[in-house]
Amino acid sequence: MLVNNFGVERRVANLRWLSAAIVLSFTALPAWAFSLDDVAAQAEKLAAKGYEAPKSNLPAQFRDMKFADYQQIRFNQEKSYWNNLQTPFRIQFYHQGMYFDTPVRINEVTATEVNEIAYSPEYFNFGTVNHDAETVKNLGFAGFKILYPINKLGKDDEIVSMLGASYFRVIGKGQTYGLSARGLAIDTALPSGEEFPRFREFWIERPKPNDKHLLVYALLDSPRATGAYRFVIYPGRDSVVDVQAKVFLRARVGKLGLAPLTSMFLFGPNQPSPTLNYRGALHDSNGLSIHAGNGEWIWRPLNNPKHLSVSTYSIENPKGFGLLQRGRDFSNYEDLDDRYDLRPSGWVETKGEWGKGKVELVEIPTADETNDNIVAFWTPEVLPEIGQPLEVGYRLHFTRDEEQLHSPELAYVQRTMRSTGDVKQSNLIRQPDGTVAFLVDFAGPMMKEMEEATPVTSQVSIGDNGEIVENNVRYNPVTRGWRLTLRLRVKDPKQPTELRAALVNGETLLSETWSYQLPANE
């Protein structure tokens, strides 16, 4: 009997080759790697035990210093971290001081290990701040900033600042700092008071020479929540940050705010300054934009109300939301020092399905521009069980090109203007009649292609606290769009009044929804 051994020999040879390939593949893999799971393991462990409040190690002279003194403590440029590496990224650190009174731990991640970046007072120039060298030698960092040559090759520009609680700011080319992003918001605007989680530790991955992005991990901690975060930062004309997070609850919360954005609105055309001011607008953002899961676009102009105001938009699987700075002309602001015209819009592009929940807008009264009084975030309808991870992913865009954040198929609100309502008399003199007028300019690429004679009309609704007494739409040859004029009579000035409007051509929707709340007047 003859036995054919060719098939057996071939299978044996294949197995030997496969075994060798497996050995080679394992030896080719790095023996060690740091990931979000490493941070999540720490966050989960923290969530399983009681919260330990961080202890301040600041001497009184640093804790009680004024902001002007804190600003004098500057990082020594020659000691920027990674100065001697072949990479365009640099790291600098913030010193502790004022309310930045507890140190945060900052680590460097390399291909083989994690090392803490040790604090040294030699990193800093203290200016005229009187201090005892012994009192600062065991302090720490309050946060850090990332530098990258975003505007000019070979010139380091600050593009990211991570300082205070879970706040961070990001800018792109030609931008100046404005609004902030946060890791997490808890119980914002609830009577119980807001809880501010903080990033207690960071891990920054050492970039390779040709890397055009930087990877940062963060461990978040607060009395009722912990979290693990992964930030991939892409500097550019519009800087982008990819965010992955795993959040663990220690205890029940009243409201959990995901992907929060914080900004400032003092006054603008929809709510002019109550005192004479050469600036027509003063704000980091002037509206909340929402792209709902059903495809609807919503624009909510911001207010500086006399009383705390909370607006909610129930949405399933949102596609995105953000606090935007629409209207980039310098003439809108006329501020040579603070350049509000260069401040970025912040947009949250959701990843995956977020389920049912709501986008919430919180507006807080403020008397000046030094206070952030605007917060927007997503709050899920169903909160995670205690100790169970809530995973979320999103992309943050920081841009001055607001038109790209909107669908080209629909017009957007370019400007909202508020005025005293009046009626033109037979002698052509306008007489105030106790009403409030709004002029809303809609514009966009699709409108520029429309004929001036297109029969554009409006769909308008108003809440129980008001009635519409005038509603007309006319072509605006300057913007090549259409202007909606509304005049309304408020029934009770002590209560807010809700308005919604959109432009249509017959049954065809032409614009996003203008959703406005006229604040209470008292």
State the average pLDDT over residues 82-86. Answer: 93
CA distances from 290 to 149, 192, 195, 377 (A): 32, 28, 25, 11
Question: Quick one: 44 and 186 in the same domain?
Answer: yes
Report the range of poorest mean pLDDT among 28-42, 49-63, 238-252. Answer: 28-42
Are 127 and 73 in contact by the 8 Å Cβ rule? The answer is yes
For residue 8, being part of any structural domain is answered with no
DSSP string covering 391-411: EEEEEEEEES-GGGGS-TTSB
Per DSSP, 239 falls in state E
pLDDT value at 16 more than 60: no
Count of structural domains, the chain: 2
Domain containing residue 485: CATH number: 2.60.40.10
* Dist CA 54 CA 299 (whole Å): 40
State the average pLDDT over residues 66-91. Answer: 93
For residue 473, being part of any structural domain is answered with yes
Are 205 and 109 in contact by the 8 Å Cβ rule? The answer is yes
For residue 330, being part of any structural domain is answered with yes
Question: Among candidates 467, 506, 459, 447, which has minimal Cα distance to 484?
Answer: 459
* Dist CA 295 CA 312 (whole Å): 18
Residue 522 has what pLDDT? 64
- Judging by beta carbons within 10 Å of its beta carbon (0-12, 13-18, 19+), is residue 109 exposed, middle or buried? buried
Question: Quick one: 124 and 72 in the same domain?
Answer: yes
Question: Quick one: 205 and 277 in the same domain?
Answer: yes
- AA letter at 105: R
Q: What is the pLDDT of residues 47-61, one digit of tens each?
A: 999 999 999 889 888
Residues spanned by the domain of 366: 36-405
State the average pLDDT over residues 369-381. Answer: 97
Are 473 and 503 in contact by the 8 Å Cβ rule? The answer is yes
Residue 8 has what pLDDT? 40
Residue 32 has what pLDDT? 65
For residue 439, being part of any structural domain is answered with yes
**CA quadruple 110, 115, 121, 126: dihedral sign:** positive
pLDDT value at 133 more than 90: no
Residue 219 has what pLDDT? 98
**Which of 349, 375, 405 is the last residue before a domain boundary?**
405
For the chain, how far is it from start to end, CA to CA, in angstroms? 106
Report the range of poorest mean pLDDT among 14-18, 138-142, 381-385, 403-407. Answer: 14-18
Residue 97 backbone class (left: φ over 0; alpha: ψ -120 to 50; beta: rest): left
Read off the pLDDT band of 455 (50, 70, 90). Answer: very high
Residue 162 has what pLDDT? 98
pLDDT value at 13 more than 70: no
Q: What is the pLDDT of residues 221-235, one digit of tens each?
A: 999 999 999 999 999
Question: Quick one: 322 and 198 in the same domain?
Answer: yes
For residue 13, being part of any structural domain is answered with no
Residue 11 has what pLDDT? 43
3-state helix/strand/coil string of 10-75: HHHHHHHHHHHHHHHHHHHCCCCCCCHHHHHHHHHHHHCCCCCCCCCCCCHHHHCCCHHHHHHCEE
Q: What is the pLDDT of residues 331-352, one digit of tens each?
A: 999 999 999 999 999 999 999 9
* Dist CA 281 CA 519 (whole Å): 18
Percent of the chain with pLDDT strictly greater than 70: 94
* Dist CA 101 CA 140 (whole Å): 9
**Which of 375, 405, 435 is the last residue before a domain boundary?**
405
Percent of the chain with pLDDT strictly greater than 90: 84
pLDDT value at 65 more than 80: yes
Rg of the chain over all Cα atoms, to the nearest angstrom: 27
Question: Quick one: 68 and 173 in the same domain?
Answer: yes
Question: Quick one: 250 and 120 in the same domain?
Answer: yes
Read off the pLDDT band of 268 (50, 70, 90). Answer: very high
Question: Quick one: 426 and 378 in the same domain?
Answer: no
Are 140 and 60 in contact by the 8 Å Cβ rule? The answer is no
For residue 10, being part of any structural domain is answered with no
Domain containing residue 258: CATH number: 2.70.98.10
**Which of 405, 420, 454 is the last residue before a domain boundary?**
405
Residue 310 tokens, joined: 């909370």
pLDDT value at 237 more than 60: yes
Read off the pLDDT band of 362 (50, 70, 90). Answer: very high
For residue 186, being part of any structural domain is answered with yes
Residue 96 tokens, joined: 């502790």
Question: Quick one: 369 and 494 in the same domain?
Answer: no
For residue 118, being part of any structural domain is answered with yes
Q: What is the pLDDT of residues 464-503, one digit of tens each?
A: 999 999 999 999 999 999 999 999 999 999 999 999 999 9
Residue 130 has what pLDDT? 79
Q: How many CA atoms are closer than 13 Å to the CA of 424, on its beta-carbon side?
A: 2
Look up tokens 């992907």; give the residue: 259
| Summary mean pLDDT of the chain | 92
Q: What is the pLDDT of residues 169-179, one digit of tens each?
A: 999 999 999 99
- Judging by beta carbons within 10 Å of its beta carbon (0-12, 13-18, 19+), is residue 174 exposed, middle or buried? exposed
Residue 31 has what pLDDT? 53
3-state helix/strand/coil string of 467-505: EEEEEEEEEECCCCEEEEEEEEEECCCCCCEEEEEEEEE
If one compares 130 and 362, the residue with the highest pLDDT of the two is: 362
- Judging by beta carbons within 10 Å of its beta carbon (0-12, 13-18, 19+), is residue 420 exposed, middle or buried? exposed
Question: Quick one: 401 and 430 in the same domain?
Answer: no
* Dist CA 502 CA 458 (whole Å): 6
